[in-house]
């Protein structure tokens, strides 16, 4: 139904897209095909854009609260797609998941406390902790010889102490693409429960999961686990709405909600922009078919990438991601240091990717590529990659 629309090639050069406009600054050239920041070069669904245009026909753009109908659309979506039961009173508007992480850090920890991150991981996790003068407690993911990542609970247990107050969970995981299984999450939750550690579950990528994998909301594991959890969810990644800055925070436990609200109210988050409200509601009301087709489309892009890599003796390898549209490329066989690796991709492939090292030391030797692009762009990228693979 939507394949033709999803395949559309859109020129983003004139729309001030960060992915394109920051090329010179980041890669020292405008020549690279940018496949770094986590938004899509695939159109935002037209049924959402129509709702925004419809709203703009009203001549007044004054203050608005996000209506309950929008919150309810997200509640129904989470129930329908993820088996998660959320009450309206548990939800707060947030213009940014990263802002919500900062609020949770302020609400649940004090200066000097330790906060756990499972590296390699979305780099703002680290900067949020450092900026709030808390200590980063690294619990690197464990990786086996096949390149499969999992939690390292022995390492975690050995490092926790009385000052360890919060764990920042990335689920599904950016950048390694894992969709955590229920037993893995359960085991992690047990450690947190036993040690009085609260969990911020960043589940912004929860809808972007490839079959047969299934996203398990951390807070759905048990009532007890729900009551130590703050969950961040939103339509930004799923429906390419990052520029509208909208997400929600879900906190079931009343005491935890009160602590969060104290910080939240102190900085006046207000209720966001009015165009994001209609987009949010429309995405969750009408987005099911779009999302299912998008995931099929992204699957083809990953297949194209894997086919290309396999033609070159797997000098670069990647695990089929279980979730997210970010693919974690293992470049260790090239035996280059991280600076050389980045240069190689910029100069010989003319591709602007995210260096693995930016997600923590454990990402050394990796590059992250964003494959949420129309197939024509994917093929262009693979031609460039092929050129690089022939060169090395
Ligand atoms: C795991 C994760 N959390 C948060 C964000 C950003 O969320 P926001 O733009 O709402 O701050 C991203 C964006 O890439 C992400 O990958």
C-alpha of residue 97 to centroid of ligand 1, in Å: 6
C-alpha of residue 59 to centroid of ligand 1, in Å: 32
C-alpha of residue 185 to centroid of ligand 1, in Å: 21
User: Count of alpha carbons within 13 Å of 384, Cβ hemisphere only?
Assistant: 21
Q: Does ligand 1 come within 6 angstroms of the Cβ of 202?
A: yes
pLDDT tens digits, one per residue of 158-185: 999 999 999 999 999 999 999 999 999 9
Q: What is the mean pLDDT of residues 326-331?
A: 98
How far is Cα 59 from Cα 271, in angstroms, rounded to an integer?
Answer: 20
Looking at the chain, the domain(s) classified CATH 3.90.1150.10 span: 3-45+288-391
C-alpha of residue 174 to centroid of ligand 1, in Å: 9
pLDDT tens digits, one per residue of 21-42: 999 999 999 999 999 999 999 9
For residue 195, pLDDT beyond 90: yes
Beta carbons of 360 and 138 less than 8 angstroms apart:
yes
Q: What does the pLDDT read at residue 392?
A: 83
C-alpha of residue 222 to centroid of ligand 1, in Å: 26
Q: What is the mean pLDDT of residues 140-167?
A: 97
How far is Cα 391 from Cα 196, in angstroms, rounded to an integer?
Answer: 53
* Residue 348: Cβ-neighbour burial (10 angstroms; 0-12, 13-18, 19+): middle
Indicate which atom in ligand 1 lies nearest the CA of residue 94.
10
Which residue is associated with the tokens 């405008």? 30
C-alpha of residue 390 to centroid of ligand 1, in Å: 35
CA 159 and chain centroid, separation: 26
Q: What does the pLDDT read at residue 37?
A: 97
Q: Does ligand 1 come within 6 angstroms of the Cβ of 219?
A: no
Q: Does ligand 1 come within 6 angstroms of the Cβ of 174?
A: yes
For residue 79, pLDDT beyond 90: yes
pLDDT tens digits, one per residue of 344-389: 999 999 999 999 999 999 999 999 999 999 999 999 999 999 999 9
Q: What does the pLDDT read at residue 292?
A: 98
Q: Does ligand 1 come within 6 angstroms of the Cβ of 97?
A: yes
- Residue nearest ligand 1's atom 14 by CA: 38
Tell me what the pLDDT averaged over the chain comes to.
97
For residue 51, pLDDT beyond 90: yes
Which residue is associated with the tokens 């096949």? 146
Beta carbons of 181 and 218 less than 8 angstroms apart:
no
Looking at the chain, the domain(s) classified CATH 3.40.640.10 span: 52-285
Could you tell me the end-to-end alpha-carbon distance of the chain, in angstroms, rounded to an integer? 42
Indicate which atom in ligand 1 lies nearest the CA of residue 96.
10
For residue 270, pLDDT beyond 90: no
- Residue nearest ligand 1's atom 10 by CA: 96
Within 10 angstroms of residue 383's Cβ, the number of other Cβ atoms is 13
Best residue among 92, 96, 98 to mutate for probing ligand 1's pocket (most ligand atoms within 8 Å of CB) is: 98
Q: What does the pLDDT read at residue 155?
A: 98
Radius of gyration of the chain (CA): 21
What DSSP letter does each residue of 105-124 carry, written as one string?
Answer: HHHH--TT-EEEE-SS--TH
Of 166-180, 236-250, 306-320, 374-388, the poorest mean pLDDT is in: 306-320
Q: What is the DSSP letter of 209?
A: B
Q: What is the mean pLDDT of residues 258-280?
A: 94
Best residue among 121, 174, 204, 241 to mutate for probing ligand 1's pocket (most ligand atoms within 8 Å of CB) is: 204
313 confidence band (pLDDT: 50, 70, 90): confident
How far is Cα 226 from Cα 171, in angstroms, rounded to an integer?
Answer: 15
Q: Which CATH architecture has domain 3-45+288-391?
A: Alpha-Beta Complex (3.90)
How far is Cα 339 from Cα 264, in angstroms, rounded to an integer?
Answer: 40
pLDDT tens digits, one per residue of 104-126: 999 999 999 999 999 999 999 99
For residue 314, pLDDT beyond 90: no
**Per CATH, domain 52-285 is 1.10.3720.10:** no
Indicate which atom in ligand 1 lies nearest the CA of residue 122.
1
Q: Does ligand 1 come within 6 angstroms of the Cβ of 247?
A: yes
C-alpha of residue 128 to centroid of ligand 1, in Å: 12
Percent of the chain with pLDDT over 70: 100
Q: What does the pLDDT read at residue 154?
A: 98
- Taking Cα atoms as reference points, which of 115, 109, 122, 105 lies closest to residue 136? 115
- Residue nearest ligand 1's atom 4 by CA: 97
Q: Does ligand 1 come within 6 angstroms of the Cβ of 38?
A: yes
Q: What share of the chain is helix, strand, coil (3-state, %, to 5)?
A: 45, 15, 40
- The residues, ordered by sequence, that sit 6+ positions from 127 with a Cβ below 8 Å of its Cβ are none
Q: Does ligand 1 come within 6 angstroms of the Cβ of 242?
A: yes
Q: Tokens representing 137?
A: 């407690």
What DSSP letter does each residue of 60-78 carry, written as one string?
Answer: -----PPPHHHHHHHHHHH
Q: What does the pLDDT read at residue 89?
A: 98
C-alpha of residue 201 to centroid of ligand 1, in Å: 12
Q: Tokens representing 316?
A: 């670069």
């Amino acid at each position: 139904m939507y394949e033709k629309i999803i395949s559309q090639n859109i020129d983003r050069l004139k729309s001030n897209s960060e992915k394109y406009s920051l090329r010179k600054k980041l890669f020292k050239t405008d020549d690279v095909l940018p496949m770094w920041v986590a938004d899509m070069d695939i159109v935002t669904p037209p049924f959402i854009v129509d709702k925004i245009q419809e709203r703009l026909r009203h001549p007044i753009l004054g203050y608005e609260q996000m209506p309950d109908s929008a919150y309810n659309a997200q509640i129904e979506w989470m129930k329908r797609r993820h088996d998660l039961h959320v009450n309206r009173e548990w939800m707060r508007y947030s213009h940014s998941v990263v802002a919500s992480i900062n609020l949770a850090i302020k609400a649940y920890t004090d200066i000097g406390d330790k906060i756990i991150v499972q590296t390699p991981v979305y780099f703002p996790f680290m900067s949020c902790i450092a900026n709030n003068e808390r200590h980063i407690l690294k619990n690197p993911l464990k990786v086996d010889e096949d390149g499969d990542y999992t939690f390292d609970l022995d390492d975690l247990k050995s490092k926790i102490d009385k000052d360890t107050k919060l764990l920042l969970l990335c689920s599904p995981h950016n950048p390694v693409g894992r969709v955590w299984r229920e037993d893995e999450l359960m085991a992690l939750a047990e450690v947190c429960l036993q040690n009085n550690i609260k969990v911020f579950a960043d589940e912004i990528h929860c809808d972007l999961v490839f079959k047969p994998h299934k996203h398990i909301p951390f807070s759905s594991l048990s009532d007890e686990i729900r009551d130590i959890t703050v969950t961040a969810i939103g339509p930004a990644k799923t429906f390419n709405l990052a520029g509208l800055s909208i997400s929600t925070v879900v906190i079931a436990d009343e005491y935890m909600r009160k602590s969060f609200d104290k910080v939240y109210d102190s900085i006046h988050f207000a209720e966001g922009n009015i165009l994001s409200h209609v987009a949010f509601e429309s995405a969750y009301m009408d987005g099911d078919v779009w999302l299912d087709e998008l995931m099929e489309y992204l699957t083809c892009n990953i297949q194209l990438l894997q086919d290309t890599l396999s033609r070159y003796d797997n000098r670069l390898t990647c695990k089929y991601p279980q979730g997210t549209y970010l693919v974690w490329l293992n470049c260790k066989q090239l035996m280059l240091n991280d600076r050389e690796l980045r240069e190689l991709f910029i100069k010989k492939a003319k591709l602007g990717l995210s260096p693995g090292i930016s997600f923590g030391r454990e990402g050394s030797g990796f590059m992250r590529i964003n494959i949420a692009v129309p197939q024509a762009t994917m093929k262009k990228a693979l031609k460039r990659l092929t050129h690089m693979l022939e060169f090395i």
